[in-house]
Amino acid sequence: MKKGLRSAYLTVENNLNYYKGKLISREQIKKNLFHKERFYMGYDEFSVNRPENRLIKSTLLKLQKVSNSAANIKEIRQLLPHFEMVKPSTHYMKDFSDVVIDHNLKDYETLKRWSKVFLLDQSFTTFSGHTTARALLFPMEKIFESYVAKNLKRVLADLPWEVSIQDKRHYLFIRPRQFALRPDLVIKREDQSTIVLDTKWKSLTSQRQNYGISQADMYQMYSYSKKYNTPEIWLLYPVNEKMQDAEITFESYHQNRGVETKVSLFFVDVMNIEYSLGKLREKLIKEVSLKE
């Protein structure tokens, strides 16, 4: 829009009351047999109403109807006045076939592809053919983290426990107050004891050293244990076939006080999230019973 809509000389047919361009005899006889004062003419007109712009306008109009984003709708409304002299496309495939991307239309290339995705309802998954598919990429570690946290909070809702997501109470250093600690879940039980849980979107296996757990992750869990003054730390990983029933725990001991830090692993089945987190709930309750 900053560079302006491209215009072109387009052949226009119209029934006029004056003579302009070339008379189209067939249409003149059909439409103006009893209207001698009119002329059915074909002529060239320099216009923005070219196929590329018609497709873009149609895409904006469609997205305006289906979008749930107020920001997107506002932006579309700001763009549409620029297309006042452009008619929406009435035949998508014909207009797409008429589009020729040359050096003057380089700015339209990406717009054409996205218009095709939305106007023709093309899938974002793989499909056969020679069309270049667009992809939507999501940070799976964030999705896994949010999905597990939301569902675990729901699974524990009937217990007299306080569940915090993305707790922000502690920093690694106090002076200066820097390097915030952000465990995914912190549970405060009725006896004021604390459990810290953190999700990791990684595939572990018994065939790798330390199961594939990074040292940085374990240092992070140790710092959680110290700052939250609790030995009870859980690392939650997505389940896989090799680690489906694995029971893995790491413990460090203080010479006088016994267990100092205990990091337990749990493998979450996201395809059966309620059942899987129900098993985790049982383990967390069992830990309370053992302490008592």
pLDDT at 72: 93
In this predicted structure, what is the pLDDT of residue 147? 95
The sign of the dihedral angle between the CA atoms of 66, 69, 74, 80 is negative
Q: What are the pLDDT digits (tens) for 157-206?
A: 999 999 999 988 888 888 888 898 999 999 998 888 899 999 999 999 88
Q: For 192, left (φ over 0), alpha (ψ -120 to 50), or beta?
A: left
Phi-psi region of 179 (alpha: psi -120 to 50; beta: other; left: phi over 0): left
Cα 184 from Cα 146, distance rounded (Å): 8
From CA 285, how far away is CA 248, in angstroms rounded?
18
- Give the global pTM: 0.58
Return the CATH number of the domain spanning residue range 140-291: 3.40.1350
**Cβ-Cβ contacts under 8 Å for 174 (sequence gap 6 or more):** none
**Spatial separation of the C-alpha atoms in residues 183 and 146, rounded to whole Å:** 12
CB 212 within 8 A of CB 205: yes
pLDDT score, position 79? 94
For helices 109-119 and 51-66, angle between their N-to-C axes, nearest 10 degrees: 50
The residue ranges of the chain whose pLDDT is under 50 are none
C-alpha neighbours within 13 Å on the C-beta side of residue 54: 18
The pLDDT score that the predictor gives to residue 275 is 95
Please give the Cα distance from 50 to 112 (Å, whole number): 13
Distance CA 89, CA 130 (A): 24
Domain ranges of the chain: 8-119, 140-291
